[in-house]
Amino acid sequence: MKRWYGKLLGFFAGAALFRSNPFFGALVGFLIGHAFDTDWFSLRRDNPYAALGLSADATDTEVDLAYRRLMSQYHPDRMAGAAAELRQQAEVRAREINQAYDRIKTQRRRR
């Protein structure tokens, strides 16, 4: 279920804070509440190790093996004869795997 309480709280808080122009304050509060309800300000990031099915203490070899195994399974070229929906899902999953692998490699190079 989608969240709604941020909009409501923002509406009333904005109206209370902008007493000179409560309509403007309510509108600003409503928009900020909407942003919080839809996680625009979310600071959490996806765990790249979870995308590859690994723990954070995996070795470089394990990361490479997991990447190759998953890419051989989800590469879009392997789904050439499949339905359009399956190909699209494979492309999305392959993109997630590539992003996770790139992020892990970048993090490890910085150390």
- pTM of this structure: 0.58
Please give the CATH number for the structural domain made up of 48-110.
1.10.287.110
Decide if 52 contacts 59 (C-beta within 8 A).
no
- Render each residue's pLDDT in the chain as its tens digit; 111 residues: 477 778 878 888 888 888 888 888 888 888 888 887 777 766 556 788 988 999 889 999 999 999 999 999 988 888 778 888 888 998 999 999 999 999 999 988 887
Residue ranges of domains in the chain: 5-37, 48-110
Q: Report the 3 state secondary structure along 53-110.
A: CCCCCCCHHHHHHHHHHHHHHHCHHHHCCCCHHHHHHHHHHHHHHHHHHHHHHHHHHH
